Amino acid sequence: MNTNETTINELDTENTNNVSEHTHILEDGTVVTHTHDHSHPHHHENTKAVLNRMSRAIGHMESIKRMVEDGRDCSEVLIQIAAVRSAINNIGKIILEDHINHCIVDAVETGDKKALEDLNEAIEKFVK
């Protein structure tokens, strides 16, 4: 999937073999499905903090939308967008750190090279 494409709907399923299937329905109606083989459960210590931060970022974006609707000064809107972008980047850093500390440690212990390849791909997309 191109990073410029917008996902408007995502459906996740996971079977008993720890293979989860993600179906993305793009704005133009294109359906993209891919799978991930997860050989470990996804229970992370920072899940609650990540969800709380995401909720705050979503609320912040909603307030920025109201600023635009109200015709607020463009520089004020841009400053607020920068704040949300920073918050989202920090959420990503927490997820990445948690992933490395748990999933990647498990992958190294079990010799799961695919998890390391997936990590490299995720980091590449995250830092763009």
Q: What is the pLDDT of residue 7?
A: 41
Written as tens digits, the pLDDT of the chain (128 aa) is 444 434 444 444 444 445 556 576 766 777 776 565 555 555 678 899 999 999 999 999 999 999 999 999 999 999 999 999 999 999 999 999 988 888 888 888 888 899 889 999 989 988 88
Residues 6 or more apart whose CB falls under 8 angstroms from that of 108 comprise 116
> What is the maximal distance between C-alpha atoms in the chain?
55
Structure tokens belonging to residue 77: 């809107």
pTM of the model as a whole: 0.62
CA distance 36 to 107: 14
Which residue, among 12, 5, 2, has the nearest Cα to 33 in the 3D structure? 12
